[in-house]
C-alpha cells in the first residue's frame, strides 16, 4: 500500500517528465496486482487542473481522467477523520491544503507517501514515511 500524490500520477501521461520511469513502475506494480495505490479524492481534481494549465485538448483530458478513474485506485473521500488529520498536518507543517491531504492519509493509515513535488517534500521530509520520487531507486522500498 502506498499513497501517491498527483505530481507522481501526472508523470504517467507526460513522456518528457523527469523521473517518469519510477512513476511508471508504481503504475505497473499496481496494474499487475503487486501494489495498492491510495489517494484522496482530491487527486482527480488536481489532475484535471494540471491538464487544463498545460492546455491539453479537452478530448485528451477526458480520456485521461476516465482512464485514471477506471484504474481503481483506492480513493478516500473527504471524511471527517481525513479532514481532521489534514488540519493537524497543516498546523504542524504548514503545507498547502492539497499537500496536507496526502500527508494526512499516509500518516493516519501508516502508509508511505511518494511525491515528486520538492517543495512539499521538504516541508515534511523529517517524517519517516514521505519519499521524494527522485530518491526512490526501487518502488519496492515504498511498498508496505
User: pTM (2 decimals)?
Assistant: 0.91
Band of the pLDDT at 134, cuts 50, 70, 90? Answer: confident
- Residue 144: pLDDT over 60: no
11 contacts 17 by C-beta, under 8 angstroms? yes
For residue 131, the enclosing domain spans 2-142
pLDDT in tens, 67-120: 999 999 999 998 999 999 999 999 988 766 668 999 999 999 999 999 999 988
Cell of 134: 527522485
Predicted confidence at residue 99, as pLDDT, reads 86
Number of domains in the chain: 1
Residue 114: in which H helix or E strand, if any?
strand 113-115
- How many angstroms separate the CA atoms of 46 and 25, rounded? 21
pLDDT in tens, 19-59: 888 899 999 999 999 999 999 999 999 999 999 999 999 99
CATH number of residue 93's parent domain = 3.40.50.1010
Cell of 54: 498545460
Cβ-Cβ contacts under 8 Å for 17 (sequence gap 6 or more): 10, 11, 23
Amino acid at each position: 500500500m502506498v499513497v501517491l500524490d498527483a505530481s507522481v500520477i501526472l508523470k504517467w501521461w507526460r513522456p518528457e517528465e523527469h523521473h517518469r520511469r519510477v512513476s511508471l513502475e508504481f503504475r505497473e506494480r499496481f496494474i499487475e496486482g503487486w501494489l495498492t495505490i491510495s489517494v484522496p479524492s482530491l487527486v482527480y481534481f488536481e489532475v484535471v487542473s494540471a491538464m487544463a494549465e498545460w492546455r491539453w485538448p479537452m478530448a485528451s483530458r477526458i480520456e485521461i481522467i476516465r482512464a485514471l478513474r477506471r484504474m481503481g485506485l483506492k480513493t478516500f473521500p473527504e471524511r471527517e477523520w481525513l479532514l481532521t488529520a489534514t488540519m493537524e498536518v497543516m498546523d504542524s507543517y504548514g503545507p498547502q491544503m492539497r499537500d496536507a491531504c496526502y500527508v494526512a492519509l499516509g500518516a493516519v493509515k501508516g502508509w508511505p507517501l511518494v511525491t515528486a513535488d520538492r517543495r512539499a517534500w521538504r516541508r515534511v521530509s523529517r517524517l519517516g514515511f514521505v519519499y521524494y520520487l527522485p530518491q526512490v531507486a526501487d518502488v519496492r522500498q515504498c511498498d508496505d
